[in-house]
Structure 1
Amino acid sequence: MNPLLTIITPVFNSAKLLQSTIDSIKNQTYKNVEYIIVDGGSTDGTLDIINDNSQMVSVLISEKDSGMYDALSKGLKVAKGDFICYLNAGDILYPDAASKVVKFLSENKLDWVTGYISECNESNEITKIDLPFRYKTHLIQRGMYGKYLPYIQQESTFWSKKLIDTIDFDKLRSLRLAGDYYLWYCFSKESKLEILKTPLGAFKKHEGQLSEDLHRYWKEVGEFTEPSNLFNKFEVLLEGLYWLLDVRVREKLVSTNWRFDHAKHQWMKK
């Protein structure tokens, strides 16, 4: 039996963005997908788009909430999938993302994976793509990624259902900006984040996009992450130098990601 993948979209008044996200899920080559939309009581036509695509939506929750991570919590609590990810309105998955992730996590009995860091414009044209170097568990737990080192891209990150048990949902609902990093912090307590050398999802840059209040974001991150020490800061400096190297040089120095072996027809960490 094919494992079930759950995709969750928290949404509020995003009528101009939601259709492209739904289309990217509709175009997945892997079809055993549960799609959950959690709407915060939109008034701009978002619900019309959801209704027009009702054949794609497995679960719709539409009610007022206290923010995006309250909505995400509702979706995570009803998710039935063996594997899970979430996409905000406008963000997209590559057509074969679900197929690759389900196969990779199932065959290798792993719990958590991410792919290329990828961005697109309003026409869904890819404008940035970069292979991550590595994500060290103890540096995730100290809030180093995104602040001092490149971020973990939420749109390209998938995890097994068992990692949901690591989340304190009261804490997740209380967050306003840093809920993504809170998930990574929780998951890192249980499992190592693996990197798949392939594009999976893309973050959409669009006109009128609100820039995050970075001060508040990192203040929230500091509420749940562990304090860093002088050694951690020195380590971050060395890691930053690795990230600056050409991908081909990095791969020769340290093998950190999974690549597809065409001779063996499987993903392998070399």
Structure 2
Amino acid sequence: MKVSIITSCFNREETIGQAIESVLAQDYPEIEYIVVDGASKDRSLQVINRYKDRISRIISEPDKGMYEGINKGIRAATGDVIGLLHSDDFLYSPDTISKMVRKFEQSGADFVYGNGLFVDYQNTDKVIRNWMGGSYSKWKVKHGWLPLHPTCYIRKSCIDRLGLYDESYKIAADSDFLFRYLYEADLKVEYLNEYIVRMRMGGLSTDSAKRKQMWQEDVRMYRSHGLPPTWTKLQKMAWKVPQFITAKLKF
């Protein structure tokens, strides 16, 4: 089973190297790694090119945002399963992809998700949120629950059938994508109770300056799917409360 991992990057010279190294350190041999740089204006592309002999494909050209970059990567991917690793983040351990593949093979799943940690931007050993994926049900999705986006790995055949990210969203395209796949489609979904990724706090959806835009886009997204938008958004927020509590208790 070939796994395609896609990293979309723009002006992330400080963190992109760690993201790349976490993929290259994986003990699973059949990984296609695609890095999509949106014509960064800093030294990101120079950092990426240090690893060019070990990256399957590098795409560097202007785009209109992260989701356009991700869609470019998906179109270029040839793997059986596709996963994302954002440029501020890194895979949890060298056997993360091996565990993910084992879950696909043992379960016959179309879609597998796991757990993730939100960490301090500078001190990545400091855990801020402990995101335990938990069991899947369409009822939970209808009431605002979604798995952590970068822990989700999906068969390419399902993406070819169900479609890419809606680029009209700048922040909520991942929520829209997951809702379509986990609620409106009928996929075999499995939960892998393992940490998949460490995510630095400070990305688009964790930047306080972007929270108003995130609220507006989530409301638009839920309304487009026929759900009560404000109520569903509030429920989505409520699912996150235990993440902060368990982070303090566990870490």
Task: Assess same fold via TM > 0.5.
Answer: yes
8 Å Cα contact 2:11-2:44 kept in structure 1: yes
Displacement of 1:116 after TM fit?
1.6
Q: Which one of 150, 159, 163 corresponds to residue 155 of structure 1?
A: 150
Q: Tell me: CA distance 1:73–1:212, structure 2 relative to 1, closer, same or farther (3 Å).
A: farther
Question: Structure 2: any 5+ residue segments left out of the alignment?
Answer: 247-251
Q: 2:124 corresponds to which residue?
A: 124
Q: Name the larger-Rg structure.
A: 1
Amino acid at match of 1:221: D
TM-score, with length taken from structure 2? 0.80
Amino acid at match of 1:175: Y
Q: Which one of 19, 25, 28 corresponds to residue 27 of structure 1?
A: 25
Looking at structure 2, the residues matched to 177 and 14 of structure 1 have their Cα atoms a distance apart, in angstroms, of 18
8 Å Cα contact 1:166-1:186 kept in structure 2: no
Q: 2:226 corresponds to which residue?
A: 227
Amino acid at match of 1:124: T
| Secondary structure at the counterpart of residue 215 of structure 1 | helix
Amino acid at match of 2:175: Y
Q: 1:264 corresponds to which residue?
A: none
Verify: 1:93 aligned to 2:91, yes or no. Answer: yes
Q: CA-atom RMSD, angstroms?
A: 3.1
| Secondary structure at the counterpart of residue 130 of structure 2 | strand
Amino acid at match of 1:129: N
TM-score, with length taken from structure 1? 0.75
Q: 2:249 corresponds to which residue?
A: none
Looking at structure 1, the residues matched to 166 and 76 of structure 2 have their Cα atoms a distance apart, in angstroms, of 16
Deviation track 1:194-220 (CA, whole Å, cap 9, x = no partner) reads 221111112113699743623322332
Verify: 1:190 aligned to 2:191, yes or no. Answer: no
Give aligned-pair identity as a percent: 26
Deviation track 1:37-86 (CA, whole Å, cap 9, x = no partner) reads 11111121111111101122111111111111111110111111111111
Question: Structure 1: any 5+ residue segments left out of the alignment?
Answer: 146-150, 248-270
Q: 1:137 corresponds to which residue?
A: 138
Deviation track 1:193-247 (CA, whole Å, cap 9, x = no partner) reads 4221111112113699743623322332343432336xx97xx69x96xx69x99
Looking at structure 2, the residues matched to 221 and 163 of structure 1 have their Cα atoms a distance apart, in angstroms, of 24
